[in-house]
A and B are shown apart, each in its own frame.
Chain A
Amino acid sequence: MRLRDKVAIITGGTSGIGAATADLFAKEGARVVLTGRNEQRGRAIVDRIGGSAAMFVSTDVSRADDCRRAVTQAVDKFGRLDILFNNAGIFYAHDAIECTEEEWDEQIDVSLKGTFLMSKYALPHMIRQGSGVIVNNSSGWGLVGGDKAVAYCAAKGGVVLLTKAMAIDHGRQGIRVNCVCPGDVDTPMLPQDAKFRGLRWDDYLAGAANRPMGRVGSPEEIAKVVLFLASDDSSFMTGAAVAVDGGGTAD
């Protein structure tokens, strides 16, 4: 039980990496607050974990009021806040010519501004407690560029540097801030990308698996790294970008 009695907020917690992390954190003793835009999926995960250890707050992380409310409700229900996993993100496969201004804004606001807003409202509670951990979900494409992903790369590159900036600002207050940089992971985002690119799923998977480990990752494999960064096992780590990509950015 590596997170016994800890309270964690997980944004984008209703599917993919967020849902897998919620399950793992709960198994490790944490009480989890899931945010997301899909109420039905959120409730289903809360039911699975059990209402005494989990709650769902319907949240659009690009909206300040929603973020403030999510933090307030988490602290009201569970009494403290130890871990914030900024995981919510969206993806459109577009180059600069194809990407509309609206799609640009949506991706930057959910993936990057959402991290800013959630952190802004979570940090005062962590500072008061004298400890806290923030884990941000960046991407391999926050370290290297990818094709047809301008806004996604911009948002994820922003997440890596926002991580470092917050690590510097809040280290002395006992708060650690790190990010994970997953490669292709078997989540709902992946088939959606295949569809965007007009590729058959099998062909897409074969292409995505062109990396040293020869396969895509599972959400559970990313969740385990998030657990490491959220737990005391990483107590001397802050400002780091941890690649979890089967070697994808190694070559």
Chain B
Amino acid sequence: MQLRDKVAIITGGASGIGRASALLFAKEGAAVLIADLNQAAGQALEREISSSGHRAAFQACDVTQATECRRVVERALQQFGRVDILFNNAGIIRRATVLDLSEEDWDRVMHVNVKSIFLMSKAAIPVMARQGGGVIINTASGWGLSGGAKAAVYCASKGAVVLLTKAMAVDHGPQNIRVNCICPGDTDTNMLRSEAEQLGEVTHHFLADAARRPLGRVGQPAEIAQAALYLASDASGFVTGTALVVDGGGLAGSV
């Protein structure tokens, strides 16, 4: 039980990496506040976790809206009494070059992937500071460290997440708040399938291509959740401002 009596907020918590993390964090003893746009999936996950004897609650939330972000933090306090862990995981992707990308899609990706972290952190940090500490984990990407084709705004947003992580680590270390990010490689989620669709590719071809990395396969959401657990737990007690690469060796080189 690595997170006994901790309270964790997970944005984008109803599917993919967020869902796997909610399940794992709950199993490790945390009460989990699932924040997501998708009400049906969020409520189903809340029931799934609750019925296995762990604590969970769902709060519908558009993380690009400041008032809704504040409401998520208030709900966690109301329901579970504190906030120890904030996992800023909500994210979307648009596969396009700057030439093909519309201004609307630029804004949407930047708001969901980056501004949401600013807004959620802004709401949660005062609570953590009052409690004497806390942990923030942000989902960046391998493409927040190196570039990718037809992913201009996604790269821009994830590069921003990496540096926002470092900036917040500098600002809030003295308040005993650790801030780190995870840089997953291709992971078997709905987002990956949506990428194949956006690029007009057949999913299994796309998955095969994505697997040209040292470990020869894409990652599973549960494997990324394990990395989030490490960063959320005391096992990483002296770790802040880092970008943890979890990508089957993709950034190390291709086979």
A interface residues with partner B (beta carbon < 8 Å): 64, 95-97, 99, 101, 104-105, 108, 112-113, 116-117, 119-120, 123-124, 141-170, 239
Contacts across chains A and B counted by CB atoms under 8 Å: 150
Q: List 17 A-B contacts (CB under 8 A).
A: A97-B125, A97-B126, A104-B115, A113-B110, A116-B106, A123-B99, A124-B99, A148-B171, A152-B167, A155-B160, A157-B166, A158-B160, A158-B163, A161-B159, A166-B97, A169-B97, A169-B98
Interface residues of A, dominant DSSP: helix
Count chain A CB atoms within 10 A of each CB in B106, B115, B163, B169 and give the residue with the most. B163
A146 vs B110: C-alpha distance in the bound complex, in angstroms? 21
Interface size for B (C-beta < 8 A) is: 48
Asked whether, in the complex, the Cβ of A96 is within 8 Å of the Cβ of B160, the reply is no
B interface residues with partner A (beta carbon < 8 Å): 66, 97-99, 101, 103, 106-107, 110, 114-115, 118-119, 121-122, 125-126, 143-172, 241
A157 vs B144: C-alpha distance in the bound complex, in angstroms? 8
Asked whether, in the complex, the Cβ of B155 is within 8 Å of the Cβ of A162, the reply is yes
Closest chain B residue to A170, Cβ basis? B97
Asked whether, in the complex, the Cβ of A158 is within 8 Å of the Cβ of B147, the reply is no
Query: Which 5 A-B pairs give the minimum distances between C-beta atoms?
Result: A157-B163, A161-B159, A145-B166, A164-B147, A158-B160
Asked whether, in the complex, the Cβ of B151 is within 8 Å of the Cβ of A165, the reply is yes
- With contacts A161-B156, A164-B146 taken as known, whether A151 is within 8 angstroms of B118 at the C-beta atoms is yes
CB distance from A151 to the nearest CB of B (A): 7
Asked whether, in the complex, the Cβ of B147 is within 8 Å of the Cβ of A239, the reply is yes
CB distance from B112 to the nearest CB of A (A): 13
Asked whether, in the complex, the Cβ of B171 is within 8 Å of the Cβ of A96, the reply is yes
CB distance from B129 to the nearest CB of A (A): 9
Asked whether, in the complex, the Cβ of A166 is within 8 Å of the Cβ of B170, the reply is no
A156 vs B161: C-alpha distance in the bound complex, in angstroms? 10
- With contacts A166-B152, A169-B97 taken as known, whether A153 is within 8 angstroms of B163 at the C-beta atoms is yes
